[in-house]
Amino acid sequence: MSSNRVTVTPYKRHSRHVHGQLRPQCQSSAPSITHHPHRHTMATNITFHPGSVTKPERDDLLKQRGVTIWLTGLSASGKSTIACALEQHLLHLQKFAYRLDGDNIRFGLNKDLGFDEKSRNENIRRIGEVAKLFSDASAITITAFISPYRQDRAVAKELHDKASIPFIEVYIDAPLSVVEERDPKGLYKKARAGEIKGMLVYHARTHPSSSSSRIDFTGISAPYEAPENPEIHIRTDETSVVEAVQKITEYLVSKGYLSL
């Protein structure tokens, strides 16, 4: 890839890393959520109606291939920051790209969901379906969600695999000490003070060399299950936003998902 090095214009909406921190301006405040129990009623007497344009035909007409880039990681790991910058970069390359962000989706499509395990599962299931629709329309779809459970991410991937749509899992990774230092929403501070239940637990196996990763949060039970074999692994305490975008873009080019 050295001869085809991707050049990324610095993302001006984000300040530089300071002491290993990402300082995004492209982020939304966490919404105030009122939980309404969601009811599932299975639809009956329905038939899938295929369109007149096949996906390969659409890809050829739009001169790009639809693909889902699934960013997963702890709160404050840098998912939204990188997603914003990647979307901007791809659009500047004249590519049809769209970003789905965790907080933003909870203002609309998923505003009826809470943060218990069942709601988290349904949240990711819906996003998997929406991402698949965007990518089926030949968009480069970028999702930025904590998506803490491996099984839920596997379900999202399976949806794409069945539709022959590429699914790229990107682990946005940072040590607990770094995400706690960033903590733009104050969630970690509140969790340590016992003010938040259901905050994500940081598994020691994610960074076994770090003693801080073994800290237990009192009254906290929801785990984050780190990807075991992500297509791309980015340590945001060691990688700048521009470098992260460059790494993802180069991967897309190397796999034939993107032509420059």
Catalytic machinery residues: 147
Cα-based distances in Å from 154 to 115, 127, 157, 231: 20, 13, 5, 13
What are the C-alpha distances in Å from 158 to residues 63, 153, 167, 227?
A: 25, 9, 9, 15
Mapped to the 3 state alphabet, what secondary structure does 73-106 carry? CCCCCCHHHHHHHHHHHHHHCCCCEEEEEHHHHC
- Is 223 strand, coil or helix? strand
Kind plus residue range of the DSSP H or E element containing 125: helix 117-136
Instruction: Give the list of residues 6+ apart from residue 180 with CB closer than 8 angstroms, or none.
Output: 76, 188, 189
Contact 112, 212 (CB under 8 A): no
Handedness of CA 114, 120, 121, 123 (dihedral sign): positive
Phi-psi region of 76 (alpha: psi -120 to 50; beta: other; left: phi over 0): left
Please give the single-letter amino acid code of residue 182.
R
Residue type, 260: L
